[in-house]
Amino acid sequence: MSTEDRSEAEAGAESIAPVPQDNNPLLAWGSIPDFAAIRVEQVVPAVRFTLARAAADLDALEAAADGLPISEIVGRSEELEDRLGWTWGLVNHLNSVRTTDALRQAITEVQPEVVTFHSRLGQSESLYRAYLSASAAGASAEPALARTVELALRAMRHGGVGLSGDAKEAFNANQQQLAQLGMEFGNALVDATKAWHRDLTHEDDIRGVPPSVRGLMAQNAQLAAIDGSEAASAEAGPWRLTLDPTCVMPFLEYADRRDLREVVYRAWIGRAGPDGDPKLDNSERIARILALRKAQAQILGFASYAEFSLDAKMAPSVADALGLLASLHESSKPAAQRELADLTAFAKAEGAAEPLALWDVAYWARRLREARYTYSDEDLKPYFPLPRVLEGVIALVEKLFGVAIREGDKTGWHPDVRWFDVLSDGAPIAGFFLDPYSRPADKRGGAWMNELRGRSSRLAPPGQAVRTPIAYLVCNQAAPVGDKPSLMTWNEVSTLFHELGHGLQHMLTRVDLLPVAGISGIEWDAVELPSQFMENWLRHPKTLASFAKHYETGAPIPASLVERVLAASTYRAGSAFLRQIYFARLDLELHHGFDAASGASIWDVQRTVAADNTVIPPLPEDRFLCSFGHLFAGGYAAGYYSYKWAEVLSADAFAAFEEAGLDDDARVAEVGRRFRETVLGLGGSVPPMEVFKRFRGREPSTEALLRHNNLS
């Protein structure tokens, strides 16, 4: 730890001294808070107080570390991180589900202090030494503790704690530059996306585009105050076409005007590229990011950034990740070729010009899908009222894992939020809040699971053996209107199953050491196993039929409708697979074999990878890498393969139930108990490959994923 960090922490401690911490609900660490009592003025004092407490605890721990057993060191850092995690997590949760300008401001005010504390903790040399000697001495006979030590060491090493002198200086300087470049990349992408538009004024320009998208485009025109737009309407226009995905994607799928599809497609793949505004050109940033990442990896002793990235992932090596992609490629590529031939034949029969261009694919794929599987979301929704879907997924969880889920009366942050207890043998072992409905005014979109608190024996309330874990499950479906329940789309049902899957791994953990309990400590490419696993149950007709009943008549969902939905779920699967393989391979090539010093460019790499991983090659002027935020402004660098990696795991896990016989409740329950004991129970306390093998009796296979997608 540097002296600079310490003086900052102390300055922080002084400034919080007079804060009255009594009655501040944000300081009721580890409890289920009194949400109604939380006020925005309490945020800054609570976070500062918690930070000061954590800093003081860390000072004491660092001073004593030499003489303490490793279990005590881990336990004390567990405590100090938990308090901060609880308060800071709660504040951020409220910002997601009940935000106000004042709350955002309060968070912005203290965020840098939280970041500073975390980097101090991650670079604590005395803790690093303590972990290192514990590891050398065999850490502990207790696997969870040993794994905690190894994970902490790995994270600290990756953060550069083991470096010194010039290497450390270079590492830290590179890190700053990378953060800066990532931010610039993201900003340039946002600006380049905003900078392009095309105003459409003739009815013919917009032929085929559905009313909802026309409405959005008319609204775009109104916001931009273009001529005649004061009265812009979905029916009469004018309509502004933009590069926002909610606009460009449906336009490419629906617009009959081929020339306009081409215009917007070319704008889309050229965003933030070298042929546009030089200030927004991301290509030079990509080259610098790749060079800096490589340098960082090499300072830490890895040959490439991909090797560094995979050091903290389940995939054992770059070769293994590439091997998975190659094996999926084998069946995806021929399938994608067949799908293209199929699409071309359909388009030709409907009078399209040949061959299909890149801006034709989404359009004809949508038309073929409509012709083949005649149903819409609206046909399904009456069979998915939230109360029945909840009953259904709860019954499934109870059957699979032998727990009981009962609604309780704890109060959340909004009247629509509900509380559920999870019981095992009649005793509460966990709980979760469910916040199902969208509230556009103050709740973020999307769906997620988060932790209110994790399972821990050290932090158990007096008289109890453990502190039980609690999760937040947040969705964004339409609220009920009058007596009519919230009717869910297929995607919303699938999302609820998905988030509950994450929640189950958090709640059914048997590990009581926070850093490796539940979803904590699980490698990035393995974390989606339980969530996607739960989604798979929707493909089981009997499970679906058990709850999909009409909200008015109670009539079961027609079997023919279920058939069409399941068939549509594998429509053009080969093309979808190949696209993900293309991105994942490109990502690994750029972060592994690529060397700018050899004179090759990122475009050469893209061309080579595309040649084998697309069925219509990209245009020579395709610059989509310049808008690939996952790799250059997000967390997916040398990790894009994770999407497919995790799908292999979840499909293969589901296949264990298929092998037992999905309709055989007794055998399904038997496999379910094993899933609970391993995947859900062990959390991050055991390396994920080992966890998988304990459940499945072998390493993962791609067989089930390919079979589920008709790609075998």
The three-state secondary structure class of 18 is coil
Q: How far is the CB of 136 from Zn ion (least distance, A)?
A: 37
The three-state secondary structure class of 608 is helix
Name the residue nearer to Zn ion (CB basis): 365 or 691.
Answer: 691
The three-state secondary structure class of 528 is coil
Q: How far is the CB of 499 from Zn ion (least distance, A)?
A: 7
Residues 6+ apart with CB under 8 A from 425: none
Name the residue nearer to Zn ion (CB basis): 89 or 159.
Answer: 89
Residues 452-491 that bind Zn ion (CB under 5 A): none
Q: 79, 307, 499, 523: which one is catalytic?
A: 499
In b/e form, how buried is each residue of 156-176, taking b as 16+ CB within 10 angstroms?
bbbbbbbbeeeeeeebeebee
Name the residue nearer to Zn ion (CB basis): 331 or 531.
Answer: 531
Spatial distance between the Cα atoms of 83 and 28, rounded to a whole number of angstroms: 9
Residues 6+ apart with CB under 8 A from 156: 122, 123, 124, 127, 128, 131, 162
Query: 98: which DSSP letter?
Result: S
Name the residue nearer to Zn ion (CB basis): 248 or 646.
Answer: 646
Name the residue nearer to Zn ion (CB basis): 220 or 505.
Answer: 505
How many residues sit close enough to Zn ion to count as binding (CB under 5 A)? 1
DSSP per residue, 153-178: HHHHHHTTTT--HHHHHHHHHHHHHH
Name the residue nearer to Zn ion (CB basis): 473 or 609.
Answer: 473
245, 236 contact by CB (below 8 A): no
72 labelled catalytic: no
Q: How far is the CB of 528 from Zn ion (least distance, A)?
A: 5
Name the residue nearer to Zn ion (CB basis): 24 or 494.
Answer: 494
User: CA separation (Å) from 558 to 40, 541, 568?
Assistant: 50, 11, 16
Q: How far is the CB of 411 from Zn ion (least distance, A)?
A: 27
Q: How far is the CB of 544 from Zn ion (least distance, A)?
A: 21
The three-state secondary structure class of 592 is coil
Q: How far is the CB of 471 from Zn ion (least distance, A)?
A: 13
- Percent helix / strand / coil, the chain, rounded to 5: 60, 10, 30
Q: How far is the CB of 432 from Zn ion (least distance, A)?
A: 15
Look up tokens 């293309």; give the residue. 582
Residue 75: both structure tokens together:
């336990």
Name the residue nearer to Zn ion (CB basis): 237 or 469.
Answer: 469
Q: How far is the CB of 187 from Zn ion (least distance, A)?
A: 27
**Taking the CB of residue 277, how many other CB atoms lie within 10 A of it?**
12
Nearest to 26 by CA among 55, 46, 51: 46
Name the residue nearer to Zn ion (CB basis): 609 or 691.
Answer: 691
Q: Which residue is nearest to Zn ion (CB)?
A: 531
Side chain identity at residue 410, one-letter code: K
Q: How far is the CB of 102 from Zn ion (least distance, A)?
A: 31
Query: 357: which DSSP letter?
Result: P
Residue 478: both structure tokens together:
């339409």
Q: How far is the CB of 531 from Zn ion (least distance, A)?
A: 4
Spatial distance between the Cα atoms of 340 and 511, rounded to a whole number of angstroms: 49
Name the residue nearer to Zn ion (CB basis): 444 or 564.
Answer: 444
Name the residue nearer to Zn ion (CB basis): 152 or 705.
Answer: 705
Spatial distance between the Cα atoms of 173 and 608, rounded to a whole number of angstroms: 33
Instruction: Report the residue count for the chain.
Output: 712
Spatial distance between the Cα atoms of 245 and 248, rounded to a whole number of angstroms: 5
Show the site string, 523-552: x = touches Zn ion by CB under 5 A, - = not: --------x---------------------
DSSP per residue, 256-320: --HHHHHHHHHHHHHTTSTTS-GGG--HHHHHHHHHHHHHHHHHTT-SSHHHHHHHTSSS--HHH
Residue 450 touches Zn ion, criterion: CB under 5 A: no
**Taking the CB of residue 660, how many other CB atoms lie within 10 A of it?**
17
Q: How far is the CB of 638 from Zn ion (least distance, A)?
A: 20
The three-state secondary structure class of 408 is strand
407, 420 contact by CB (below 8 A): yes
Spatial distance between the Cα atoms of 46 and 90, rounded to a whole number of angstroms: 11
User: Which residues lie near Zn ion (CB under 5 A)?
Assistant: 531
Among all residues, which ones are annotated catalytic?
499
